[in-house]
Amino acid sequence: QVVGREIHHGDAVEEKISLADRFGLGLSFYPISEPQFFEIVDHLFGEIEDREQLHIRARRFSIEKGVRSGRTARQFYNQFVGEF
């Protein structure tokens, strides 16, 4: 199965992880405030009329994930983009 342009996606991921381990690279996603989180969600979803419902679902999603970050906002968008 081809994922993106990778034939062996698992091998590509393992290679990237080993490079990160070897060279000490890390990528952190720091927690942000709720207003900042909603600002990112609003930006990702564009012109959504029912912002209140969007924010309720985004808040619930972030609580389930245990963190509010830009990455969590993007995951929320990826999961629910077709529903709004």
- Full-model pTM: 0.64
Closest among 37, 34, 45, 27 to 72, alpha carbons compared: 37
Domain map (residue ranges) of the chain:
1-28, 34-80
Cα Rg of the chain, angstroms: 16
Which is nearest to 68 in space by CA: 28, 35, 33, 26? 33
Q: Mean pLDDT, to the nearest integer, of 20-39?
A: 84
- The 10s digit of each residue's pLDDT in 41-67 is 999 998 888 999 999 999 999 999 988
**Which pair of structure tokens corresponds to residue 26?**
């890390």
